[in-house]
Amino acid sequence: MKTLRQVASFCGLSGPSVSIRKLADKVSNYEQPISLRKLLDKGSKRTWSAVLLKVTVILTSKKDGSQPLYEIVNGKVIPKTPYLRSLTRHPTLDDNFIKDWINLANRQLESAGCNFGLDNQDIRYVFENNDAMNTLDGGKEADNDAIRKEIQKRVDDPTNKDFYHRVVLLYRWGGGKYPDSPAGQSYTALDSPLIILNPYRQSPIISDGENYGLGDSQLTHEFGHFMSLNHTFASFAGSLAEMAELKDKTGIKRNPLYLPLLKSNLNKMNGVTEAELLATKMKAEQLLGQKYLNEFDGDSYDVTDTPIDLWLGFPLIWGYNACSTDKFVQVDAKDGKAWIPINRDVRNNIMSYWTCFPLDQFFSPQQVMRMEKHLENNRSQLKSNGRTIAILEIA
Ligand SMILES: [Zn+2]
């Protein structure tokens, strides 16, 4: 049984991954309109349509106008400072990068065969000079609840055309340190009327010694929570990832490149010995040995077609590259043996935290079904206010 609090987990690293060069190669595809061309069950002939949900974007600054995240120039949203945009994807200030996020989410929802998406033709932008909204962080429950109630009032008010029956994205500064990660983490609760987002992060995400992308799938991931999905990874997966960092006593990572814990990589780790690598693996084995098999799969209670997910700490500790390995590894749990996958199915699920290949991330069929049911049963007002598009016969 999961509590709502667990569902509303923080999503700091839920983004992306693909090296910046690889990412840039695919950027030209981002602006393609939704076409619903890809279906999971290729070969069957069926009628397909999607509802695009209307979106309102709240752009925050503090009450006195300081810490503004964005501004609109000639009708376009642009980052207010160069720190708050993806330098790879937005080399000039003319780009509407919020629309880019929405377009990417639509591509990923479409690829998964979802019957809904976000309307990129009818985005409303609302400025809020509000200290609490601007600094909101997932951990401040009082602020969070107050803002949630405030937004709920607006989305339920038929006279409030900017908000009525719309998906609300709130971009805020948050508690992170400027300029590295000014906005901290994203945060979305299952029953919340809004999705709280950070802007693009500038800190590169590292795996297997490579710099990866900058958070591009963050909106898609948060929207997954908004549509009732939980994380795929085990609750203790973060502990394994921390072990793989091999921090020293002052908290400095001695494996900052997130390399597999192998003797051959010791020269790229700061002062780590072979004995420490072995000790780390033993510690990890002990941790897994204390867990029951049903704890290995973070979302097993609501979807069964996503694999066991121990996140990237597991392959690194066992000596495998996180982003390029394709195998199963057997480990001992408290009540039996488990086969842990290290492959595309586990690392590319949108609802996990792996940082590999954001443009190839996907939802599983059961995740899609769960989201569609949630839209039908719990967020039907958004659907009724949406725009139905493209009824296609697909052979
Ligand atoms: Zn998340």
Give me the mean pLDDT over the 164-181 stretch: 74
- Between the CA of 327 and the centroid of ligand 1 the distance, in Å, is 25
Q: CA 210 to CA 134: how far, in whole Å?
A: 33
- Between the CA of 352 and the centroid of ligand 1 the distance, in Å, is 7
pLDDT category of residue 124 using cuts at 50, 70 and 90: very high
Whole-number percent of the chain with pLDDT over 70: 73
> 């086969």: which residue's tokens?
339
- Between the CA of 290 and the centroid of ligand 1 the distance, in Å, is 25
Mean pLDDT of the chain: 79
- Between the CA of 245 and the centroid of ligand 1 the distance, in Å, is 21
Q: What is the pLDDT of residue 389?
A: 82
Of 35-39, 79-83, 205-209, which has the strongest mean pLDDT? 205-209
> 């803002």: which residue's tokens?
147
Q: What is the pLDDT of residue 94?
A: 54
Q: What is the pLDDT of residue 136?
A: 75
Query: Are 318 and 329 spatial neighbours (Cβ–Cβ below 8 Å)?
Result: yes
pLDDT category of residue 204 using cuts at 50, 70 and 90: low
pLDDT digits 0-9 by tens, 59-79: 888 899 888 877 777 777 776
- Between the CA of 10 and the centroid of ligand 1 the distance, in Å, is 6
Q: What is the pLDDT of residue 360?
A: 77
Q: What is the pLDDT of residue 29?
A: 32
Q: How do the domains of the chain map onto residue ranges?
A: 4-38+52-204+211-228, 237-347
pLDDT category of residue 23 using cuts at 50, 70 and 90: very low
Of 18-22, 79-83, 102-106, which has the strongest mean pLDDT? 102-106
Q: Cβ contacts of residue 13 below 8 Å, gap of 6+?
A: 205, 353, 355
- Between the CA of 9 and the centroid of ligand 1 the distance, in Å, is 6
Q: What is the pLDDT of residue 7?
A: 29
- Between the CA of 215 and the centroid of ligand 1 the distance, in Å, is 12
- Between the CA of 19 and the centroid of ligand 1 the distance, in Å, is 22
Query: Are 133 and 147 spatial neighbours (Cβ–Cβ below 8 Å)?
Result: yes
Give me the mean pLDDT over the 205-214 stretch: 66
Based on its alpha-carbon atoms, the radius of gyration of the chain, rounded to whole angstroms, reads: 21
Q: What is the pLDDT of residue 119?
A: 92
- Cα dist from 155 to 131, 170, 192, 223, 306, whole Å: 21, 13, 11, 17, 33
> 């010995």: which residue's tokens?
273
- Between the CA of 249 and the centroid of ligand 1 the distance, in Å, is 29
pLDDT category of residue 99 using cuts at 50, 70 and 90: confident
- Between the CA of 3 and the centroid of ligand 1 the distance, in Å, is 15
pTM over 0.75: yes
Give strand pairing partners of 169. 57, 195
- Between the CA of 224 and the centroid of ligand 1 the distance, in Å, is 8
Give me the mean pLDDT over the 144-153 stretch: 91
- Between the CA of 75 and the centroid of ligand 1 the distance, in Å, is 31
Query: 3-state secondary structure string, the chain?
Result: CCCHHHHCCECCCCCCCCCHHHHHHHHHHCCCCCCCCCCCCCCCCEEEEEEEEEEEEEEEECCCCCCCCEEEECCEEEECCHHHCCCCCCCCCCCCHHHHHHHHHHHHHHHHCCCEEEEEEEEEEEEEECHHHHHCCCCCHHHHHHHHHHHHHHHCCCCCCCCCCCEEEEECCCCCCCCCCCCCCCEECCCCCEEEECCCCCCCCEECCEECCCCCCHHHHHHHHHCCCCCCCCCCHHHHHHHHHCECCCCCECCCCCCCCCHHHHHHCCCCCHHHHHHHHHHHHHHHHCCCHHHCCCCCCCCCCCCCCCCCHHHHHHCCCCCCCCEEEEEEECCEEEEEEECHHHHCECCCCCCCCHHHCECCHHHHHHHHHHHHHCCHHHHHCCEEEEEEEEC
Q: Which of 190, 198, 124, 189 is nearest to 154 (CA)?
A: 124
- Between the CA of 46 and the centroid of ligand 1 the distance, in Å, is 33
Q: What is the pLDDT of residue 3?
A: 28
Q: What is the pLDDT of residue 68?
A: 82
pLDDT at residue 12 is higher than 70:
no
Q: Which of 353, 98, 324 is nearest to 205 (CA)?
A: 353
pLDDT at residue 177 is higher than 80:
no
pLDDT digits 0-9 by tens, 239-261: 999 999 999 999 999 999 999 99
Q: What is the pLDDT of residue 185?
A: 62
pLDDT digits 0-9 by tens, 321-354: 999 999 999 999 999 999 999 999 999 999 998 8
- Between the CA of 132 and the centroid of ligand 1 the distance, in Å, is 22
- Between the CA of 275 and the centroid of ligand 1 the distance, in Å, is 35
Query: Are 91 and 27 spatial neighbours (Cβ–Cβ below 8 Å)?
Result: no
- Between the CA of 276 and the centroid of ligand 1 the distance, in Å, is 32
Q: What is the pLDDT of residue 84?
A: 53
pLDDT category of residue 367 using cuts at 50, 70 and 90: very high
- Between the CA of 265 and the centroid of ligand 1 the distance, in Å, is 31
pLDDT digits 0-9 by tens, 107-121: 888 888 899 999 988
pLDDT digits 0-9 by tens, 269-321: 999 999 999 999 999 999 999 999 999 999 988 899 999 999 999 999 999 99
